[in-house]
């Protein structure tokens, strides 16, 4: 472990120290996870206190009941009781609500946890232990440009610099210093420059690293997709074409595609130019959808998504714990049985690309779509739960 805020607790409780270390890491990486597991942390801490105080400690007691019991026993100050309730409420919402959670919410929970830990250490461990004053943790930037991506960025920057030289003009040395002359500056053309600037300003992973053409049309391939697996099921009209190409060790990953897809069908037999053109258009749609998914994932760090075509489901803690059983998913016993045989027993174990489920025996896209819709309905039912 690197240095962390509650490192001083390691000698008192290694389990508490390690848990708080993980919660601290999750504040910016996964606000939802941080909030959900903060609730678990305070539940264990409350139980420790009840055991220490020799109070009734029924394992089925709710967090609310534990807080009330400690409060009625005169063990909680108003500030500590409020901190427990705030962490509890935020954790409950994070467990089932599909909305995006903000850093400010995980930071709020983290500050309340400081109040709780300080109380616990001073009352139940040792008043001589000095708990540091609360400070917000520093956000660590982990995203960086790959070497190839960085080289391309600098190449574009250099092109932009050299392009600017075309608009430089020599100083008029013959003009008298006392003369005042209004010079109309020729505006720099925007066409081309805007797209170049956009590419330079792309965040890590999105800088275009190659271009694939079909006739006069083209699609830019971003860095994060340069070696992406081309799952045939993602290409509805070109699925069989891609499977056939894959059998010839062609078009399995993005980097195996040529710079032009014209005549691409010639690499296998019994296909024509229409298949090449159709595949190109589906490739454009694939790239656009992957960029959308990537930006969604980046905007919601630490979230787990299940994707189906151009739709997705947020896997909350509650949804992730739903059993994959014939009771929960009707009309598809064969799929459920095969998933269970592969060790996939809960929703959180599913592959993020649900189209992959089409690989199972007698499971077509229609069955996968029905499965997705049942997942969505279960999610909607869970969201209705009152905190």
List pLDDT tens digits, range 358-370: 999 999 899 999 9
List pLDDT tens digits, range 122-160: 998 877 788 899 999 888 765 567 777 777 776 776 676
Final residue before a domain boundary, out of 252, 267, 297: 297
255 vs 228: CA distance, rounded Å:
8
Mean pLDDT computed over 28-52 = 92
Residue 387 has pLDDT above 60, yes or no: no
Percent of the chain with pLDDT over 70: 86
Of 82-96, 126-140, 219-233, the range with the lowest mean pLDDT is 126-140
Percent of the chain with pLDDT over 90: 66
Structural domain boundaries, residue 77: 7-125
pLDDT class of 113 with cuts at 50, 70, 90: very high
Helix, strand, coil content of the chain in percent (nearest 5): 55, 5, 40
More confident residue, 17 or 308: 308
User: In the beta sheet, which residues pair with residue 220?
Assistant: 211
Of 154-158, 230-234, 245-249, 356-360, the range with the lowest mean pLDDT is 154-158
Residue 357 has pLDDT above 90, yes or no: yes
Q: Does residue 328 share a domain with residue 265? A: no
Q: Does residue 289 share a domain with residue 156? A: yes
Mean pLDDT computed over 92-119 = 95
Q: Does residue 116 share a domain with residue 29? A: yes
Q: Does residue 152 share a domain with residue 31? A: no
List pLDDT tens digits, range 279-311: 999 999 999 999 999 999 988 988 999 999 999
List pLDDT tens digits, range 260-278: 999 999 999 999 999 999 9
Specify if 88 maps to a domain.
Answer: yes
Final residue before a domain boundary, out of 273, 297, 321: 297
Final residue before a domain boundary, out of 258, 280, 297: 297
Q: Does residue 250 share a domain with residue 153? A: yes
Q: Does residue 20 share a domain with residue 90? A: yes
Specify if 132 maps to a domain.
Answer: no
Q: What is the mean pLDDT of the chain?
A: 87
Domain CATH code at residue 28: 1.20.120
Specify if 172 maps to a domain.
Answer: no
Residue 185 has pLDDT above 50, yes or no: no
The predicted pLDDT at position 109 comes to 97
Specify if 318 maps to a domain.
Answer: yes
172 vs 94: CA distance, rounded Å:
67
Q: Does residue 319 share a domain with residue 293? A: no
CB 321 within 8 A of CB 380: no
The predicted pLDDT at position 175 comes to 54
Q: Where are the beta strands (DSSP E) in 203-334?
A: 208-214, 217-222, 305-308, 311-314
pLDDT class of 15 with cuts at 50, 70, 90: confident
Residue 69 has pLDDT above 90, yes or no: yes
Specify if 277 maps to a domain.
Answer: yes
More confident residue, 25 or 106: 106
The predicted pLDDT at position 85 comes to 97
**C-alpha 298 chain-centroid distance:** 5
Q: Does residue 260 share a domain with residue 239? A: yes
- DSSP string of 231-242, one letter each residue: -GGG-TTTHHHH
Specify if 341 maps to a domain.
Answer: yes
Q: Does residue 361 share a domain with residue 288? A: no
Number of domain units in the chain: 3
Residue 386 has pLDDT above 60, yes or no: no
CB 346 within 8 A of CB 320: yes
More confident residue, 333 or 180: 333
Q: Does residue 85 share a domain with residue 187? A: no
Specify if 137 maps to a domain.
Answer: no
Q: Does residue 112 share a domain with residue 29? A: yes
Hey, is 187 helix, strand or coil? Answer: coil
Residues 6+ apart with CB under 8 A from 83: 112, 113, 115, 116
The predicted pLDDT at position 198 comes to 63
Residue 6 has pLDDT above 70, yes or no: yes
Specify if 275 maps to a domain.
Answer: yes
Hey, is 254 helix, strand or coil? Answer: helix
Mean pLDDT computed over 207-211 = 90
CB 61 within 8 A of CB 43: no
Residues 6+ apart with CB under 8 A from 141: none
Mean pLDDT computed over 233-246 = 95
Q: Does residue 194 share a domain with residue 114? A: no
């Amino acid at each position: 472990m690197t240095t962390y805020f509650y490192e001083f607790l390691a000698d008192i409780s290694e389990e508490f120290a390690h848990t708080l270390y993980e919660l601290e890491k999750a504040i910016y990486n996964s606000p939802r996870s941080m909030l959900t597991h903060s609730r678990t942390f305070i539940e264990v801490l409350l139980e420790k206190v009840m055991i220490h105080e020799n109070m009734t400690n029924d394992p089925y007691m709710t967090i609310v009941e534990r807080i009330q019991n400690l409060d009625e026993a005169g063990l909680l100050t108003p500030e500590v009781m409020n901190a427990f309730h705030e962490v509890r409420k935020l954790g409950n919402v994070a467990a089932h609500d599909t909305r995006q959670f903000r850093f400010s919410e995980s930071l709020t929970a983290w500050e309340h946890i400081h109040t709780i830990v300080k109380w616990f250490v001073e009352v139940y461990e040792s008043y001589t232990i000095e708990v540091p004053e609360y400070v917000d943790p520093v956000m660590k930037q982990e995203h960086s440009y790959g070497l190839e991506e960085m080289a391309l960025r600098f190449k574009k920057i250099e092109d932009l610099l050299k392009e600017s030289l075309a608009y430089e003009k020599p100083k008029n040395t013959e003009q008298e210093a006392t003369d005042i002359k209004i010079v109309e500056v020729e505006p720099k053309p925007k066409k081309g420059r805007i797209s170049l600037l956009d590419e330079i300003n792309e965040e890590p992973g999105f800088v275009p690293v190659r271009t694939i053409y079909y006739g006069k049309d083209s699609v830019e391939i971003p860095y994060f997709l340069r070696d992406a697996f081309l799952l045939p099921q993602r290409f509805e009209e070109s699925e069989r074409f891609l499977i056939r190409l894959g059998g010839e060790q062609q078009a399995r990953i993005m980097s195996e595609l040529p710079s032009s897809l014209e005549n691409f069908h010639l690499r296998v037999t019994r296909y024509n130019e229409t298949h090449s053109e159709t595949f190109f258009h589906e490739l454009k749609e694939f790239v656009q959808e992957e960029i959308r998914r990537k930006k969604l994932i980046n905007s919601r760090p630490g979230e787990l998504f299940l994707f189906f075509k151009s739709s997705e489901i947020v896997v909350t803690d509650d949804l992730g714990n739903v059993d994959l059983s014939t009771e929960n998913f009707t009309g598809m016993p064969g799929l459920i049985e095969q998933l269970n045989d592969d060790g996939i027993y809960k929703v959180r174990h599913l592959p993020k690309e649900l189209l992959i489920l089409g690989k199972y025996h007698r499971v077509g896209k229609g069955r996968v779509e029905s499965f997705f819709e049942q997942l969505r309905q279960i999610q909607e039912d869970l969201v209705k739960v009152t905190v």
